[in-house]
């Protein structure tokens, strides 16, 4: 199944929450939806889940319009909100049973489905507990289980890892990989960028309602290393026959020194190949170096010859966190 967000716009009076965005993802893949709070992620997701209507544009599920056929879409999409609604006097099994009945599951089929989902999400041991007594992690499991009760082809998850401890995040990530392996298309919204990098095939970066970049994770990482702006998906398709001009990649280094940190920063900034330098409180200096790999030892040797007490250095890899910050700060243009 192919899901296409096409020229989607949502306005609330004079405020434009989502501004003419387009992207797509498909079955068997986990697609990241990245952006700070207020970027337009939740508004977009609610439109996809038929909980809101766009001002303009549409979301198509294998060509079926969310605007024109919301009832059809609700049968094929599982929506997980950022917070589980509070039902103080409801047990876990009752909550899931209610939604299974709402989707028309009956008799043995409903009981068998709910048992399988509870086993898959690890809810079996707590099926009789009341929702308001659960930890954040367990509530997220219940929310995911609810999204799965009707065996949807598409999952749209709004900040599912928010508030989870590292162990719970890892468990959630493994569940999502299994679901993608079963052929489900998954849109995963989050601001925990390290988690998205480990689980997503592709991603879109949104800020102030506009898409800043979109592509597969590997291409986003390569573009960021070359200080190139990742292209929106529709622009990427136009470049198949164009020659590729490779810029010199930017190498990120971290240097640790015993002292003379301020002097080291000033010395590095004198080098024309050093594009950016920042120091931290741990006697470390992080810099962006526009030279080649074999020039790094020469850089370090020169610093040692100049009397700087360097005790360690390492080459760092960019991650989604770095890409997001560079794009939103305008460092990649």
Per-residue pLDDT tens over the stretch 212-251:
888 876 666 554 444 444 444 444 444 434 433 334 455 6
Could you give the count of Cα atoms lying within 13 Å of 159 in the half-sphere of its Cβ?
20
In eight-state DSSP terms, residue 124 is: G
Mean pLDDT computed over 75-84: 93
- CB under 8 Å to 298, separation ≥6 — which residues? none
d(CA 32, CA 193): 9
Assigned architecture for domain 251-328 = 2-Layer Sandwich (3.30)
Mean pLDDT computed over 283-295: 82
* pLDDT given for residue 32 in this prediction: 93
Identify the residue with better confidence: 322 or 240: 322
Identify the residue with better confidence: 111 or 314: 111
Q: At CA 218, angle to CA 214 and CA 220, rounded to 5?
A: 40
Mean pLDDT computed over 57-76: 97
pTM assigned to the model:
0.71
* pLDDT given for residue 234 in this prediction: 46
Domain parsing of the chain, residue ranges: 2-208, 251-328
The fraction of the chain above a pLDDT of 90, given in percent, is 50
Average pLDDT, rounded, for the chain: 84
277 pLDDT band (50/70/90 cuts)?
confident
101 phi, psi to nearest 5 deg: -65, -40
276 pLDDT band (50/70/90 cuts)?
confident
Burial call 204-219: b when 16+ CB within 10 Å, e when fewer: bbbbebbbbbbbbbeb
**CATH of the domain spanning 2-208, picked from 3.40.50.2300, 3.40.50.880, 3.40.50.300, 2.40.10.10:** 3.40.50.300
Mean pLDDT computed over 123-141: 93
Residue pLDDT, tens place only, 175-208: 999 999 999 999 999 876 666 777 888 889 899 9
29 CB neighbour count, 10 Å cutoff: 16
291 pLDDT band (50/70/90 cuts)?
confident
Can you say how many angstroms the Cα of residue 29 is from the centroid of all Cα atoms in its chain? 13
pLDDT surpasses 90 at 147: yes
d(CA 258, CA 181): 49
pLDDT surpasses 50 at 104: yes
83: three-class secondary structure by DSSP: coil
* Helix ranges restricted to H, the chain: 41-48, 70-76, 92-102, 107-121, 136-148, 166-181, 193-199, 217-225, 233-236, 261-269, 296-305, 320-328
d(CA 215, CA 223): 10
Contact yes or no for 236/229 (Cβ under 8 A):
no
């Amino acid at each position: 199944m192919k899901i296409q967000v096409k020229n989607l716009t949502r306005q609330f009076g004079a405020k434009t929450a989502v501004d003419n965005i387009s992207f797509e993802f498909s079955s068997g893949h986990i697609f990241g939806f990245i952006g700070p709070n207020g970027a337009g992620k939740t508004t977009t997701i609610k439109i996809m889940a038929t909980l809101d209507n766009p001002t303009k544009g549409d979301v198509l599920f294998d060509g079926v319009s969310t605007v024109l056929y919301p009832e059809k879409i609700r049968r094929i999409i599982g929506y997980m909100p950022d917070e589980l609604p509070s039902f103080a006097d409801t047990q876990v099994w009752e909550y899931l049973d209610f939604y299974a009945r709402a989707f028309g599951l009956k008799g043995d089929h409903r009981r068998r489905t709910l048992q399988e989902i509870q086993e898959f999400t690890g809810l079996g041991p707590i099926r009789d507990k009341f929702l308001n007594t659960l930890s954040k992690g367990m509530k997220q499991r219940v929310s995911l289980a609810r999204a799965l009760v009707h065996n949807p082809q598409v999952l749209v998850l709004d900040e599912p890892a928010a508030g989870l401890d590292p162990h719970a995040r890892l468990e959630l990530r493994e569940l999502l990989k299994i679901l993608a392996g079963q052929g489900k298309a998954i849109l995963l919204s989050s601001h925990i960028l390290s988690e998205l990098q480990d689980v997503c095939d592709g991603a879109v970066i949104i800020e102030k309602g506009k898409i800043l970049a979109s592509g597969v994770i590997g291409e986003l990482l390569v573009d960021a290393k070359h200080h190139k702006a990742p292209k929106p998906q529709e622009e990427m398709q136009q470049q198949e026959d164009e020659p590729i001009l490779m810029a010199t990649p930017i190498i990120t280094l971290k240097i640790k020194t015993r002292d003379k940190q301020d002097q080291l920063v000033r010395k590095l900034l004198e080098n024309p190949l050093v594009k950016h330098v920042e120091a931290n409180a741990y006697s470390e200096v992080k810099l962006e170096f526009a030279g080649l790999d074999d020039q790094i030892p020469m850089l370090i040797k020169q610093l040692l010859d100049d009397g700087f007490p360097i005790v360690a250095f390492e080459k760092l890899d960019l991650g989604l966190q770095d890409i997001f910050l560079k794009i939103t700060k305008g460092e990649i243009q």
